[in-house]
Structure 1
């Protein structure tokens, strides 16, 4: 095992080693996290709508625990497909205005399993270079050819579509909102290209589901493109504040996935109580539009404040606000300095982001107040001056 020590030393020397840190819930202060028994403003959470500790979801799950128990006891294709699954999937299909839906354990398993169910040897996947790692791994596992196009470069994608136009099956897959940059995919152009070249289009709404659309349906719905996207994927672990993932599409698609998605077939089903909690969270996502309104208002305020200070901040209007530092070690020092000031904001480094683009990835929530975020922006500005980032 000596080789592990040597590799870890190299990672540490390049400021790339990662470690697990314990966090807790700050019960009396929404939008905060406990670190070392200290409450810190949490600017690194995916709890976009502030639903992770909603009393209605907690109560729904408590009741389901008493009636359904703590575990499903088998995969969904054996005896784990308990009654709450059907209720949730029907509600998801209605919400997404699709024919059918399928719930899977998590987003990583959804992407890695669904891509492999759609394509294989002799096929090709066209994937944005900044897509999530679960998409990349899904392509690798599928054994299809991987044609990566430059980020949001539609002309490069067109060139690749022409090059591979004679392959058996063609799949274009993209994040709707890119998780480390917070910008949007060019969905209108992607729909046009998929139609022109006879490709399938899969959109990952992990960071846009629950946030965009009048009822939180996602960016595809907000742009009026939902009926032109073949495979809708989303997660319950971010805006919903729970855990799990969904696929929505045609009945034929869902029938096929039930038979071909290996992570679904060979994994124990999600606990029924969790599925009940997701159903309650879906009701809140649909009804509480005010959460989306507030989320975008505070996100715009925070992003504008950092830009006005002179920081290099990624484009876009999402609640993901990347502050580009560049150097790995500097990004770590910036994160540590923020923590000393009571702000939890994690440094993101390669390979999660390209070399030379290490950053502090701020991720905001509807529970944050304008005052909290303006105070945080002032603190960030002060640290930026001290470190020479500004």
Structure 2
């Protein structure tokens, strides 16, 4: 008889030995006080400062968002009651989708319960439905994109990360007139680097390819009214279908697509990841809508986000602490050793009440282990200075290598 439990126990032991086993830190956010949170430990809860949240603008605790969710929860209950086809389409979903289409200047938008589901639905339908479709996928695309393209059964070409010339070469190997989809992200969440969107879109246009862009880490945080990096760079019209999430810049949960009406309608009608899953709870849709409308009305949160991220990056560069990239609001601190990365995160949390989750393989390549730091508007300047100082001292304690510090003005 096969020992199923023993097999998986051995597999988990092998993950522990290679440093790939994932552990959870039990964190309770404190609304109105975030980034302060309670770390629940066997010895009892302790207040910590969170430095790795994807709630990049602090909108998860904004009064307008909470008020919209409370009002809708009281009016409509906890859930939509089914899939979008079966009782799950409410006025809140309709209003949210109209808002997202307007924000991005697209004909139609469609909301999902997660951003993962949005990528899965769209790329599966494109690959499955377009005749003899060929995908051209950036090497560092998110797992949700890669797995959806594979599941579609369509031919897939992987181009070098952020390399328009390699994309052009690979597109040139496919006959003209054949349906092609170029898929990439605008900001890559683990490295924090930005795609050369104008160049990639121009290459795709020359080859008559549909452009699919995951803007999960840019909507709300970049561009006019938070419309994303494509809008900021003036290339939004070159993006056929945009995927965004409400879970990061907008501080709630869920995902969405925006694009041409027939394409979005096809996803709505054909995608298993849309048809056979639960609708977003009405209160969640209402909270997301309140967040989007607030961020469209002013730039305060966006300006503070980039100010805090800029301050942290300047302090770390001055200390010679290596960064994977310094292009975006995401600050990935390169450790390069799985054990020391875990030890670094442990010291920050246990001694200094600073929570930054270590990122290891398979999320990043072996030898590029890191802390992904996400400063936000709710981190005060003194918080940023304190974190940088503690990280600097702990870096020395662990004997981690430094990079030469460039000459520049003293940060504020």
Tell me the secondary structure at the aligned position of residue 315 of structure 1: coil
TM-score in terms of structure 2 length: 0.92
Report the alpha carbon displacement of residue 374 of structure 1 after superposing the two structures with TM: 0.9
Report the alpha carbon displacement of residue 26 of structure 1 after superposing the two structures with TM: 2.9
The equivalent of 2:17 in structure 1 is 13
Tell me the secondary structure at the aligned position of residue 252 of structure 2: coil
Contact 1:299–1:317 (CA under 8 A) maintained in structure 2: no
Relative to structure 1, the CA distance from residue 28 to residue 194 in structure 2 (aligned partners, 3 Å threshold; closer, same or farther) is closer
Q: 2:54 aligns with which of 46, 49, 62?
A: 46
Report the alpha carbon displacement of residue 389 of structure 1 after superposing the two structures with TM: 0.7
Report the alpha carbon displacement of residue 270 of structure 1 after superposing the two structures with TM: 1.0
Tell me the secondary structure at the aligned position of residue 76 of structure 1: coil
| 2-structure distance, mates of 1:246, 1:359 | 29
Contact 1:215–1:286 (CA under 8 A) maintained in structure 2: yes
| 2-structure distance, mates of 1:314, 1:284 | 32
What are the within-5 Å matches in structure 2 for residues 64-143 of structure 1?
64-120=72-128, 122-143=132-153
What are the within-5 Å matches in structure 2 for residues 284-323 of structure 1?
284-323=294-333
What are the within-5 Å matches in structure 2 for residues 116-265 of structure 1?
116-120=124-128, 122-165=132-175, 168-265=178-275
The equivalent of 2:365 in structure 1 is 354
Gaps of 5+ in 1: none
144-153 vs 378-387, which deviates more? Answer: 144-153
Report the alpha carbon displacement of residue 266 of structure 1 after superposing the two structures with TM: 0.7
| 1-structure distance, mates of 2:30, 2:74 | 27
Within the alignment, does 1:33 sit opposite 2:37 as a pair? Answer: yes
Relative to structure 1, the CA distance from residue 217 to residue 146 in structure 2 (aligned partners, 3 Å threshold; closer, same or farther) is same
Report the alpha carbon displacement of residue 182 of structure 1 after superposing the two structures with TM: 0.7
Tell me the secondary structure at the aligned position of residue 113 of structure 1: helix
Contact 1:321–1:363 (CA under 8 A) maintained in structure 2: yes
TM-score in terms of structure 1 length: 0.97
Contact 2:48–2:355 (CA under 8 A) maintained in structure 1: yes
Tell me the secondary structure at the aligned position of residue 151 of structure 2: helix
Contact 2:29–2:35 (CA under 8 A) maintained in structure 1: no
Report the alpha carbon displacement of residue 134 of structure 1 after superposing the two structures with TM: 0.9
Within the alignment, does 1:61 sit opposite 2:69 as a pair? Answer: yes
Moved over 6 A (4+): none
User: Aligned-residue CA RMSD in angstroms?
Assistant: 1.4
The equivalent of 1:372 in structure 2 is 383
316-325 vs 235-244, which deviates more? Answer: 316-325
73-82 vs 240-249, which deviates more? Answer: 73-82
Render the CA deviation track for 1:129-179: whole Å, top value 9, x for unaligned. Answer: 111111111111111122111211222212211123458321111111001
| 2-structure distance, mates of 1:28, 1:266 | 36
Contact 2:176–2:207 (CA under 8 A) maintained in structure 1: no
| 2-structure distance, mates of 1:268, 1:139 | 23
| 2-structure distance, mates of 1:127, 1:344 | 33
Render the CA deviation track for 1:194-223: whole Å, top value 9, x for unaligned. Answer: 111111101111000000012100001001
